[in-house]
Structures are given as C-alpha cells and as structure tokens.
Amino acid sequence: MIIKTEHLTYKYGIGTPFEKTALDDVSVSIKEGDYVGVIGHTGSGKSTLISHFNAILKPTSGKVFVDGQDIWQDDKTERIKARFKVGLVFQYPEHQLFEDTVYNDIAFGPKNMGLSGEEIEKRVMTSLEFVGLSKDCLEKSPFELSGGQKRRAAIAGVMAMSPKVLVLDEPAAGLDPRGRDEILSRIRDYHKETGSTVLLVSHSMEDIAENANSIIVMNRAACMMHASVPEVFEHASQLEKIGLDIPQITRVFISLHKLGYPVSQNIYTVDDAEREILSCLKGGGARD
Amino acid sequence: MIKDITLGQYFPGDSPIHKMDPRVKLLITLEFVVLLFVVNNFYGFAVCATLIVAVTALSKIPPKTVLKSIKPLLFIIIFTAFFNLFYGGGSPVFESVGWLRWLTWGGIRNAAFMSLRIILLLVGSTFVMYTTSPVMLTDAIERLLGPLKKLKVPVHEFAMMMTIAMRFIPTLVDETDKITNAQKARGADFETGNIIRRAKALIPILVPLIVSAFRRAEELADAMECRCYNGGDGRTRYKIYSCKSRDYVAICVMLIVTASVITLNVLI
C-alpha cells in the first residue's frame, strides 16, 4: 500500500459559523502501481482527499500513511518526503507557472529536492518527452505557450520530481477533445513506462473507464465505494442517485442487451465495444 | 490558513442600524466625529458613550467585537495618555519626588480625556464599517460626492474602482491559497530561512498571482463592455436609497445628542 488513510476526517472553519465537514471517516488504501480513478459530485471531497496525500492539509482526526509512514506522526521530515513522493497536479495547473523559461519552471520541483544540475537536466528532458512538448519550448517564456502547452508544461513540472504517486485533479478540464485525449494518453504512457501509481480525479466516466483499473467513489465527504472498474459501474442506479453516471457506451450496451442482442453488459470503452460487436456479428454471441 | 483573515469588518445582520440609509449613516458618523472634538468636559463624553451603547444594543453586534476596534490603535492611545500625564499643568500628585513631580492632577485629567476621545472616535466610526456592506458604502460615498461631478471629478469611476477592488479581494485570497498549495506540492518552502530567503520564496506565488489578476481584469473589462458599460453618464440604479422613518429618527437622536453636548459645554 503506497497510500493509506485511516478514519481520515477533515473539517473546514472549525469554530466559525461556516464549519463544514469535508471528509468524514475516510479509510482508503491505494496499491502501488495502480491506476486509480476518483469520481464524485462537485463538493464531495475529492480535492480535499487528495490534498491530504502530500500533507497540504492536516487531518482534523485520523491518519495518513504514505509509503508506510504516518506523515503527521513526528517532525517535518516525513512530510517533506511525502511532498516529493506524492506529486500533486492541481486543477488548472498552468496557473502556477512563474519562471522566465519553461526549462526553469519544470526544474523548480527538482531544484527544491536538492538534485544536482545534471540530474535536473535529465529529469526536465524526460518529463518534457512524457508530456510531448518539443525542445524549442524550453527557452520560451511559459506565458508564450498555448493553453494546452501550458497545461502540459505544468504537468511536466510535477512529473520531473519523479514522484512514486502522481495525483492529477481534472487534468483535462477546459481542453478541447484532442487536447484531452493527448494529455490522458501521455499520462497513460507515463504510468506504463515508469510503473508509478497514478490517481486521476475526473468528472468524465469515459476517461475513467478508459484509463483506470480501480475507482474510488466519493459522496458527501465519505468514500462510498472503492473497487475495480466493472464492480463500480455495475452499480449504475446507485451512481445515478448521487449525481454520477456510467460511461455512455455502457448504457448503449445495456440497452442492446435489453433489446435481446447477445452482447455483454460490461462494456466500458469504445475499443471493447468494437470487439464485442464484431464478435457478435460473427455469430459468436456474448463473450461472458 | 489565509482564508481566516476577515476582510473589511462587515458584520451581517438585519437590525434597524443595518437597514439605515448608508448615506445618513455616513453623515451621522461624520457629525459624531466632529462632535467628539467639540466636547470639552466629561459629561459630554458620557452622552456620546451612552449613544454608542444604545447603538451597540440596537445593532446586535457583540460588544466584544465592538471593543476589538480599539486594539489596532491601543499603542497610540497608551502613548498619548502617557505623555499627557506630564504636560497637564496644575498641582503635582507627589510633591518634590524627583522626576515624578512632573506628574500632575491636570495631567491625569488630560490623559483620561484624550484617551476617552480616541476610544470613542474609534468605536463610533467603526460602526459604519460593521453595519454597512463595502459595496453599499462605496455606493453611498459616490452619492454623497455626486455634486463633485459638476467639477469634472470622476466620482463614479472612483466608486466603481473601489467596488471592483473590494469584490475581488476574496477571489484573490482564494487564488493565493491555491497557488501556495500548488507550489508547496512542488516542494517550495515558505517557512524556513532568513528574511531574504523567505522574500525570495514568495516569487513563485506573486508572479502567478499578478498574472491571474491581469487576466481577471481583462475578462471583467470584456464582460462589462459586452453589457455596454460606458461609465456613469445616464446610468440608472438598481438600488434606490430613500430616507425612511428610521433615518429621520436617527437624525433627530443625533441632533438631540449634539444639542446636549453643546449645552453641557456652555454650562460647565
């Protein structure tokens, strides 16, 4: 377990009239090397939860373990280590760019880790490749880049720290379809090549179905489910009740199944759908 | 957390004081401040203090909060009081005991008098801030300064700038919080090192913050232009203030207070 929370509770504005429980007794554990999707309605506590993974927020009660260490147990060193072990990419990360060149901005994290100049350069180059930016960008000002490029430069800035866990809060928000596919496939490649754990917070069930292996469902400050993709999407009606959805393609196949076609109901991605329809047309019938 | 900073001092409520016409409130406060300088005896202050107690009770603002407004200037009050102790004239408190002979009864009276004046001044003038939302306040200032428009003073533009500035303070505070967290996640350290290091550590927060402030300003300007905003000329208002009976009552009370203070001045 790379990340584990035990009875994690977090309250905003304690002692004021605005007190609000943002996390209520959340116990989740995340396996090393997993690709986890985090879904939930706006205000369900997703962002608050991930902010605990690298000690940005201090739990009101409960414990957070990163790599087996209780990060709030003793002195600061554990928390600083957690910051570097868990790379957090916030929503609209391009708003955090500040250096004069893209190179310096990506190098900011590694520099804070106290790495040597050589190592920093190596890391900047690899993460630049991971996000698919060309080398001409390096000497440009980050403010000259296009919206999608800025987003990628900012994500590269976190990847350059080579965190064991990469957490992304809506990395595709506000991008056009091509931009979002591009970013998500880059993250998928990063996950495959580095073997690191990835957490993806998203509102798009399609994105989650296509990328994640397991899903954490947040609802009203609590963790409602944490299971594999098929297990979670089986509970379509329950998800709908809390304002979530299942992938569109899954809906299509459930309807097809109801109409009497011999297809599986557990289809979550377009690629799977293609295969299923082809095998069905060949007369093979349902796969499962 | 940075969010805990209270901005402005507005204390929401729906007491008669809150509902008063902000223009009347401003003018009455102004009058009250002037009156405090007219007072030349302790009885006058007693009248003023009674008014403040009454307003506190009416506005339902906790007395503790009201007294808090003294805190920022506590040092100045003590400072003023201390020096007044020795420059009052009159008979000394202790006869011929070194430098203490400069401490006089007149000095003590002066010190108490000045402190009372400053305290009443602070408490009295903060009531406007407590009971009027910043937007209403700028609106009222704009109306009161309206006649200056004839002299080509851009009153409306100033008021609009003030309103926008205040509207965006919470937004920018929020933004600062977000950026700080993002940079912390990249290992930025804001808590250790000497002053120069700490000041340098703020650059990763300030640059994105300024960039975003400019972005917001541009977006807002576009949005205003899309809605055909072109300055104050010919603009009608959504909220029209009108003096109600409670405002007239307030004016009467203030007149009575003023009259009694002046009478006391003359009599004593």
My answer on whether A172 and A272 are in the same domain is: no
My answer on whether A64 and A191 are in the same domain is: yes
My answer on whether A168 and A110 are in the same domain is: yes
My answer on whether A163 and A285 are in the same domain is: no
My answer on whether A230 and A258 are in the same domain is: no
Domain boundary among A223, A241, A259: A241
My answer on whether A130 and A170 are in the same domain is: yes
**Cross-chain Cβ contact B187/A80 below 8 Å:** yes
Q: Note the pLDDT tens digit of each residue in A86-137.
A: 999 998 888 888 889 999 999 999 998 888 889 999 999 999 988 888 888 8
Q: What is the pLDDT of residue B82?
A: 85
Q: What is the pLDDT of residue B6?
A: 46
My answer on whether A150 and A279 are in the same domain is: no
My answer on whether A86 and A113 are in the same domain is: yes
C-alpha distance from B187 to closest chain A C-alpha (Å): 6
Q: Note the pLDDT tens digit of each residue in A223-232.
A: 988 999 888 8
Q: Note the pLDDT tens digit of each residue in A17-49.
A: 677 888 989 999 999 999 999 998 888 888 899
Q: Which residues of B168-203 are buried (b: 16+ CB within 10 A; e: fewer)?
A: eeeeeeebbebbbbbbbbbbbeeeeeeeeeeeebee
My answer on whether A236 and A251 are in the same domain is: no
Of B3, B178, B211, the CB nearest to A90: B178
ipTM: 0.84
Instruction: List the domain boundaries for chain B.
Output: 2-132+246-267, 148-226
Regions of chain B where pLDDT drops below 50: 1-7
My answer on whether A182 and A255 are in the same domain is: no
Establish if A88 touches chain B: CB-CB under 8 angstroms: yes
Q: What is the pLDDT of residue B110?
A: 84
My answer on whether A234 and A260 are in the same domain is: no
Residues of B in contact with A83 (CB under 8 A): 184-185, 187
My answer on whether A142 and A253 are in the same domain is: no
Higher-pLDDT residue of A285, A176:
A176
> Structural domain of residue A82, as residue ranges?
3-241
C-alpha distance from A168 to closest chain B C-alpha (Å): 12
Q: Note the pLDDT tens digit of each residue in B172-208.
A: 888 898 899 899 888 888 777 788 888 888 889 999 9
- Total of domains in chain A: 2
**Res. A157: pLDDT tops 50:** yes
Average pLDDT, chain A: 87
Establish if A173 touches chain B: CB-CB under 8 angstroms: no
CATH code of the domain containing A173: 3.40.50.300
